[in-house]
């Protein structure tokens, strides 16, 4: 079975000469992935590394990696994406990732009306749910005001929509 890797950010720069990496991340559960001794996977090849140290600085997640103590050793990771394995995340019953919403059935007023096809980042701070509703692509703000319930077990998302949205 192929592992499910979850994108958590991108290495955008180094910091100092001791091999610290700057990661830009908008991952929902940062507190569960940026931890000392956490396994991460870097680049398309998913090279396994272990976080040695972590700190938050300005808008960046700053890490060092075990076995690296020099900037020249980590330059190979510049502009690479960083992942964790989904199985390593330990999410609670009411917690979910954006990826989990894709292909869920959309329910509105107790009636199944469509299916989620994608989650899109539309600005730094906002996302939308793309859903195929009544054979038409519909955009719904990804916000708690519009999401009544997410039921992964029964593969459905219940929405609170306003008149004229669909």
Give me the residues of the chain with pLDDT under 50, please.
Answer: 1
Q: What is the pLDDT of residue 1?
A: 42
Instruction: Please tell me the class of the 98-159 domain.
Output: mainly beta
Cβ atoms of residues 14 and 22 within 8 Å: yes
CATH architecture of the domain 5-88 equals: Beta Barrel (2.40)
Sheet holding 147-151: strands in order across? 136-141, 126-133, 111-123, 105-108, 156-159, 147-151
Distance (Å, rounded) from C-alpha 36 to C-alpha 131?
38
> Taking the domains of the chain in order of start, what are their residue ranges?
5-88, 98-159
- Distance in angstroms between the alpha carbons of the first and the last residue of the chain: 38
Answer whether 5-88 and 98-159 agree in fold. Answer: no
Q: Is 76 strand, coil or helix?
A: helix
């Amino acid at each position: 079975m192929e592992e499910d890797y979850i994108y958590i950010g991108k290495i955008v720069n180094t910091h100092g000469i001791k091999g610290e990496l700057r990661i830009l991340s908008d991952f929902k559960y940062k507190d569960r992935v940026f931890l000392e001794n956490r396994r991460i996977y870097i680049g398309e090849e998913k090279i396994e590394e272990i976080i040695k140290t972590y700190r938050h600085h300005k808008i960046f997640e700053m890490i060092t990696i075990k076995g690296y103590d020099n900037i020249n050793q980590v330059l190979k990771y510049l502009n690479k994406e960083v992942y964790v394995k989904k199985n390593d995340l330990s999410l609670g019953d009411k917690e979910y990732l954006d990826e989990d919403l894709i292909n869920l059935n959309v329910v509105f007023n107790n009636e199944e009306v469509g299916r989620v096809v994608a989650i899109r980042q539309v600005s730094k701070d906002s996302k939308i749910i793309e859903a195929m509703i009544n054979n038409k692509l519909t955009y719904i703000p990804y916000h708690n005001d519009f999401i009544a319930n997410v039921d992964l077990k029964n593969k459905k998302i219940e929405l609170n929509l306003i008149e004229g949205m669909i």
